[in-house]
Chains A and B, each alone.
Chain A
Amino acid sequence: MSATNEYGYNSKVEGEVIVSRADAVINWVRRHSVWPMPMGLACCAIELMAAGGSRFDISRFGMEVMRFSPRQSDCMIVAGTVTYKMAQVVRRIYDQMAEPKWVVAMGACASSGGMYRSYSTLQGVDRIVPVDVYISGCPPRPEALLDGMMRLQDKINTEGSTRDLLRNRPVRDLSFQKQESGS
Chain B
Amino acid sequence: MSTRLPSILEEYPYLSERDSADHPAFNCPQDKILEFLDHLKSSKGFDFLCDLTAIDHFDQNPRFEVVYNLFSTHQHEYIRVVTPCRGEADPICQSAVSLWAAADWHEREAYDLFGIQFEGHPDLRRILMWDGYPFHPLRKEFPLAGKEVEFPSEELTERTGTSVKPAPMAGGPFHASQCGSMVNREPRADDESWNELNEKTETPDAENAIPRELRDRN
Contact = CB atoms under 8 A, between A and B. Distances in A.
A174 interface: yes
Interface in B161-175: 161-162, 164-170, 172-173
B160 A119 contact: no
A128 B160 contact: yes
Contact of B146 (A95, A120, A176): A120
Query: Which of A85, A113, A127, A128 lies at the interface centre, i.e. has the most chain B CB atoms within 10 A of its CB?
Result: A85
Nearest to B147: A119
A88 B159 CA distance: 10
B146 A85 contact: no
Contacts of A117: 144-145, 167-170, 172-173
Nearest to A174: B160
Contacts of A111: none
Contact of A91 (B129, B144, B156, B170): B156
Interface residues of A, number: 20
B145 A95 contact: no
Contacts of B143: 119
A85 B164 CA distance: 11
B155 A88 contact: yes
Contacts of B165: 123
Contact of A84 (B145, B147, B152, B169): B152
B144 A118 contact: yes
A177 B161 contact: yes
B189 to A, nearest CB: 11
B145 A119 contact: yes
B48 interface: no
A119 B162 contact: no
Contacts of A119: 135, 137, 142-147, 166-167
Interface string B107-135: 00000000000000000000011100001
Interface in A110-134: 113, 116-121, 123, 127-128
A88 B167 CA distance: 18
B150 to A, nearest CB: 10
A105 B119 CA distance: 44
B190 to A, nearest CB: 12
A92 interface: yes
Interface of B: 128-130, 135, 137, 142-147, 151-153, 155-156, 159-162, 164-170, 172-173
Given A91-B159, A117-B168, 9 more contacts: A87-B152, A88-B156, A95-B159, A118-B144, A119-B145, A123-B168, A127-B160, A174-B162, A177-B161
